[in-house]
Amino acid sequence: MKIAIDAMGGDKGLTMTIKGSLDAVKELDVNVILVGKSEMIKKELEKYSYDENKVEIINADEIIENNEKPVVAIRRKKESSLVKALKLVKEKEADALVSAGSTGALLAGGLFIVGRIKGIDRPALSPVYPTEKGISLLIDAGANVDCKPKNLEQFAIMGSIYAEKVLNIKNPKVGLVNIGEEEEKGNELTKESYKLLKNADINFYGNLEVRDLPKGDCDVLVCDGFVGNTILKLTEGLSETIFSMLKKEFMKNFKSKIGALLLKDGLKSFKKQIDYSEYGGALLLGVKGGVIKAHGSSDAKAFKNAIRQAKIFTENNVVENIEGEILKMED
């Protein structure tokens, strides 16, 4: 299995993407294609011992920065690491792609270069959301700010397939994120979406209030990209703030420091549960290939886990399963 790597993407640059890729080669038995400035890649690779038969380099002289307009950058920077890596997926020279670079450019490239699955109106960004019971899949988390009910129905179907095939959740419960549990609650989008989801071939739980998302009652959390991205960013910010506040409290005096020492193992376990690096990246579901967005600040561990996600996605034929379900809807 070959995984294309946008080696130049991410806040931490080559150091982490190369280390994470080589760790994946060693631990996950995958081949990687490192796409980026070849001289820089070769220089970084000199620091490591690795199986050279499993690592390929493709030169790309340009880099798409986070501050560039995504569609313009994808169209103009044909020699960028991201565009070249996306083309490898399109041309079936790579089974999947992992990038920690510009989210907007990855979404645009996934749509315009890799292309949509037939019948899917809009691909959706789908990160894993940590909960009290384990994990849920949040879809959409920012690819589509404005949606129609039909889009949310397709998000629910794609999310359900991914949760079952990749996350190994049997008959996953699908919840519609809303401001109340009653069927008549919400705006026109959620009311009409509820009607579609109720009749779709999924295990529909019903409406789910945002305050209940962390409880883990649903395996797939469906919403438009504006709501999903807000949930994701608020959760990340809140968890960071809580840990920062706890650290300050524990460091206040000798008594609190003793308490912190006694709680150390429990706090480590809790932090691991809500750490994004444990889960890899966010899938762009609905395109004709595995496209995974790793967190911009990914360290080597997070990047390796994003590659693990790409491998599992490919092994479980998620694209083919989505194609089959969408075809059934159209019959």
Q: Do 309 and 295 share a structural domain?
A: yes
pLDDT at site 111: 92
274, 133: one domain: yes
Same domain, yes or no, for 130 and 48?
Answer: no
- What does pLDDT average to over the chain? 89
pLDDT tens-digit series, residues 19-69: 999 999 999 989 999 999 999 999 999 999 989 999 999 999 999 988 889
Q: Give the angle 209-309-55 at the CA atoms, nearest 5°.
A: 155
Question: pLDDT tens across 119-158, in order?
Answer: 899 999 999 898 888 889 999 999 999 999 999 999 999 9
pLDDT value of position 328: 75
Please tell me whether residues 110 and 9 are part of one structural domain.
yes
pLDDT digits (tens, 9 = 90+) for 150-168: 999 999 999 999 999 888 8
Q: How many domains does the chain have?
A: 2
pLDDT digits (tens, 9 = 90+) for 190-223: 999 999 999 999 999 999 999 999 999 999 999 9
Nearest to 126 by CA among 219, 1, 5: 219
Question: Is residue 270 exposed (0-12), middle (13-18) or buried (19+ Cβ within 10 Å)?
Answer: middle
Question: Which two structure tokens, joined as six digits, stand for 153?
Answer: 């129905």
Whether residue 73 is found in the same domain as residue 18: yes
The answer to whether residues 284 and 122 touch, using CB atoms and an 8 Å cutoff, is no
Per-residue confidence (pLDDT) for residue 274, from 0 to 100 = 57
Q: Is residue 331 part of a domain?
A: no
| pLDDT above 80 (res 246) | no
Residue 152 belongs to some domain of the structure: yes
Q: Are residues 108 and 220 in the same domain?
A: no
Whether residue 300 is found in the same domain as residue 241: no
Q: State the pTM of this model.
A: 0.87
Domain contains 323: no
Q: Do 220 and 86 sit in the same domain of this protein?
A: no
Confirm whether 73 is domain-assigned: yes
Would 135 be classed as within a structural domain? yes
Of 36, 45, 38, nearest in space to 6 by CA: 36
Residues 130 and 116 in one domain: no
Structural domain including 36 reads 1-120+286-317
Q: Is residue 329 part of a domain?
A: no
The candidate with the shortest Cα–Cα distance to 282, out of 174, 135, 66, 133, is 135
112 and 245 share one domain: no
